[in-house]
Amino acid sequence: MTYLFTAPTCGRLEKGLGKQRRPTQMRRLMVRRLIRVCAVCLKEFLFDSGMKKATFDTYLRYEDTYLRYEHTYLRYEDIYLRYEDTYLRYEHTYLRYEDIYLRYEDTYLRYEDIYLQYEHTYLRYEDVYLRYEHTYIRYDDIYLRYEHTYLRNEDIYLRYEDTYLRYEDIYLRYEYTYLRYEDIYLRYEHTYLWYEDIYLRYEDTYLRYEYTYLRYEEVLQAI
């Protein structure tokens, strides 16, 4: 047995281990070919070296025990590989769903990128609009300041005008009062002159009668 694992590799062994396959198939194929090739090589070596048949039978019993253990190992390995295959199938399904998810996620990100581009464009135009609005508000504020100054000056002017009109109203009141008193004075003067005229008329009539009387008296004296 020691010689089995330390003996030089023959051509059959090298030929049996020449191809590389999947790990599972490679392990099974390697073990089976190794056992067959080594059994043939060992049989030839033992018979060539003159070993007795009893020793070779003992070797075959050990080999049979080894093959049974190997068969048990291969059964468990087959069960393991079946579970591994089931796991890989589930993993494959998971990866397919993950791939579908990633495709949808990629589509979502593309649409999100398009949305963000439109949003960026909208924000740029909004920024331009706000700049113009800010400029408009600044000019509007300047206009309102000038308008406020104009209204203040107009208010001052109206206050002076109101003061002037108040003084003018006071002056006109005094003037009206003066004219009323003047009218009263003129009325009294008119009444006085009217009475004076009546007096003068009576006086004139008296003087006329007196003149007539004096003429008749002169006439009478002359007769």
Q: What residue segments make up the domains of the chain, in order of their start? A: 2-105
Q: Mark out the alpha helices in the chain (DSSP H runs).
A: 2-6, 11-16, 23-49, 53-222
How far, in Å, CA of 74 to CA of 25, rounded?
11
**Residue range 114-128, pLDDT digits in tens:** 999 999 999 999 999
Place of tokens 């070596």: 45
Q: pLDDT of 15-63, one tens digit each? A: 444 444 455 555 666 666 666 666 666 566 555 555 555 666 777 788 8
- Residue of 13 and 33 predicted with greater confidence: 33
Q: Name the band, by pLDDT with cuts 50, 70 and 90, for residue 218.
A: confident
pLDDT in tens, 148-170: 999 999 999 999 999 999 999 99
The residues, ordered by sequence, that sit 6+ positions from 198 with a Cβ below 8 Å of its Cβ are none
Provide CB contacts within 8 A for 34, sequence distance 6+.
Answer: 13, 16, 17
Supply 10's token pair: 């023959």
Confidence tier at 14 by pLDDT (50, 70, 90): very low
